[in-house]
Structure 1
Amino acid sequence: MINFNGSIVDYAQVQLENNRGLLYGDAVFETVKVVEGRILFSEDHYFRLMASMRVVRMEIPMNFTLEYFEAQIVDLVATNGHSNAARARITVYRNDGGRYLPCENNVSFLVTSEGLPDILYRIENQTYEVDLFRDFYMTKQLLSSIKSTNRLLNVTASIYARENGLQNCLLLNDEKNVVEAINGNVFMLTNGKLLTPPVSEGCINGVMRRQILALSKNIEGIEVEESVISPFDLQKADEIFITNIIMGIQPVTQYRKKQFESELSEKLLQKLNAEVRLG
């Protein structure tokens, strides 16, 4: 079952023939983790979705409050029987009509959900090799920092990773600096300094990125900085890890011939799980 504009219905009841999200990528979305009936970091997700809708000039319905946002997701997760943990996605798209120029800016939304095996975060892959994806580049602009349904670069990079036996790829912007991974933000530890690219470089303003920045600032001996990362910098790193709201933290074990530790990654994972337990 899915949630379509506040009603829980079967997939077959949703008309997609003229859907602008499908035809033009005219949609934004949020992916959330739901644990025992609550959305982790719900306010961060909600306000990021509202900001994304404003950037692309969608009309935000008057009833689309934080409480409404939470209820639409949590109710569907319960209906689908995911009582433990679930991955849910809300996609907001401009209503049918027009071609590139829409007839109106009012919106509809869909919520989908699937069960997850674990409430707490854990490191899924003990071997995790990455490399750079150089076929296409991200642009340093505001649209790159929001979660729209135009993800062709990420899809193509995922196929490239599979074809080359990699677990992930690091994406570059048009100045050839590291922006993010295919499915999350990237962090690099070098000599006690934890770096992550600023949003101005074109990366997604990740909800988990925000949590990791906050948690890292409370670890003694770690200096935290949002800073430009070049491909050359990766070779000097002690640790590299990738973050998103579903997997939490995934340490990179190898980039080209360089292998990495995961001490900070594991420490941050413990702190993150403590936050999840506290709710």
Structure 2
Amino acid sequence: MTTPTERSSLAYRDLETLSAGGMLTAMLEGQEAALSAVRAALPALDRAVEAAAARLADPQSRLVYVGAGTSGRIAMLDGIELYPTFGWPEERSAFLLAGGEASMAEARESAEDDEDAGRAAIAGLDCRAGDVVVGLAASGSTPYTLAAIDEARGRGALTIGLANNPGAALLDRAEIGVLLETGPEVLAGSTRMAAGTSQKIAMNLFSTAIMMRLGRVYRGLMVDMIPSNQKLKRRAIAMLMQVADCGEEAALDALGKTGFHVKPAVLVVRGLSPEDAMAALDRNGGDLHRAFAELDNNG
């Protein structure tokens, strides 16, 4: 039986005969379906975020992404951005892409059928109970991804599966299944479109919410970002001036003492030494809200 993401939609059977404007309008309608699918999946994403954040509070835990083809590339893109955006340690992220990292730039569609490779990839990480493993597959039946999720779950890791077809095996075999029901694509079977867009939106929400839960955001600002270029250094200065309500000179002084790390610099402006600022953050799980509450309670 053909799955919804592989079916043709009668509404778009003459898509290629339309004007350019007509084609674009039709494809945009498909993209709108992606947003609706994510909205319907919010309760499942909520469960996934809370469960993942609880595991990842352990500094030894890791966030592992698994996928093949478009889904795998979307997963890897999400994970790669966590270090510069939130300062998430690179050693606490892993990316398992069917066919290896070369598949990021070159399509290797046959690699998704290799179940042994999926199991071996998880085993090679020494995946363990503290880890969170997220598998993405539009069909929800990709052998590589299913095997990786099975292996990870057997090792006690929290497993989360995102798929676009109701009843997909991935939704059942992961501990938490997230259905992104986008239905038939405007271009039949091209899951890089609505299905892919829904996965990108869902992963943006998922990982960003986890980083917030783990104290890597303060007042809507990326206080753990890595200021690796001049643009980001200017952003760090402006961020610190806003959060600490200080002038540029004080911000530059504090940032200079903390290696341009905004979060401890906020506490340095408050009067702590760089060492005491880091100690306060360590005691409070890296959460500025809690660190400030501790300072206020201590007078």
If the TM-score is normalised by the length of the shorter chain, which range does it land in? under 0.3
Q: TM-score, with normalisation over the residues of structure 1?
A: 0.21
Greater share of strand: 1
Determine which structure has more spread, i.e. the larger CA radius of gyration.
Answer: 2
Q: TM-score, with normalisation over the residues of structure 2?
A: 0.20
RCO higher in structure (CA 8 A, sep ≥6): 2
Greater share of helix: 2
